Structure 1
Amino acid sequence: METITYQQLIKDIIENYAHKHPQDNDIETQIVCDTINNHYLLLYVGWQGEKQIYGCPIHVDIKDNKFWIQRDLTEQGIASQLLESGVSKENIVLGFRSPFNRKFTDFATP
């Protein structure tokens, strides 16, 4: 059985989401994978007429061998996808929740 790294797992999740949710021709989809500092983002950048489009629906960091979900605007949820891939709740931090509120979730509270 193939072993997949945390880095490859989050990259695969982001790439899958980007392919399922394509933007129009005027908006560029950017997948940012900083494997040195462990930052992983999905960005939408472009223009609609005179309006600049810039969005970050997914931002996940890997810190202390835990997934820190900083932003998640997906329907299914990054945490759910990580759990389905075999990651334990103790290795997932809902970074978009305040430190106070994290203790009321089933996920890690660093």
Structure 2
Amino acid sequence: MERINYRELVQTILKRHSIHHSNDDTEVQLIFDTERNHYQVLHLGWEELRRVYGCIIHIDIKDGKIWIQRDGTETGVANELVTAGVPKQDIILGFHAPYKRKFTEFAPG
């Protein structure tokens, strides 16, 4: 069985999410640092008089594992990764405290 290219998969998933969050008044930026394996989806702009700026998704790939640092999606990026064939032991929910990770179905990190 051929190993999944985590870089390509993460970029594909983030590109798909960037389409769902864009509108006329705000912009979505994809930030891919492929040299250091950092990937983000940012939401920024203005909604009337209110500034919009925030990270929707932040993923790092470290030591062959996918670290989800921020997941502001409804479906859950971890679920999308599993559906795409990534083993749960290769996914770390970095947004959970280290002591809580052992209670999830994913890798403790």
Structures share a fold, TM > 0.5?
Answer: yes
- TM superposition score normalised by structure 1: 0.91
User: Once the two structures are superposed, what CA deviation does each residue of 1:25-44 show, in whole Å capped at 9, x if it has no partner?
Assistant: 22111011100111110001
Aligned residue type for 1:5? N
Instruction: Point out where structure 2 has 5 or more consecutive residues left out of the alignment.
Output: none
Aligned residue type for 1:6? Y
Corresponding residue of 2:39:
40
Give RMSD over aligned pairs: 1.7
Aligned residue type for 1:81? E
**Does the C-alpha gap of structure 1 residues 91 and 43 become closer, same or farther in structure 2, counting only changes over 3 Å?**
same
Q: What is the percentage of aligned positions where both structures have the same residue?
A: 47
User: What secondary structure does 1:90 align onto?
Assistant: helix
Corresponding residue of 1:24:
23
Q: CA deviation at 1:3?
A: 6.8
Instruction: Point out where structure 1 has 5 or more consecutive residues left out of the alignment.
Output: none
Corresponding residue of 2:7:
7
CA distance in 1, matches of 2:3, 2:63: 19
- TM superposition score normalised by structure 2: 0.91
Q: CA deviation at 1:60?
A: 0.5
- List structure 1 segments (4+ residues) > 6 angstroms apart after TM superposition: none
Q: Which shows bigger deviation, 6-15 or 40-49?
A: 40-49
Aligned residue type for 1:61? D
User: What secondary structure does 1:29 align onto?
Assistant: strand
Q: Which shows bigger deviation, 40-49 or 85-94?
A: 40-49
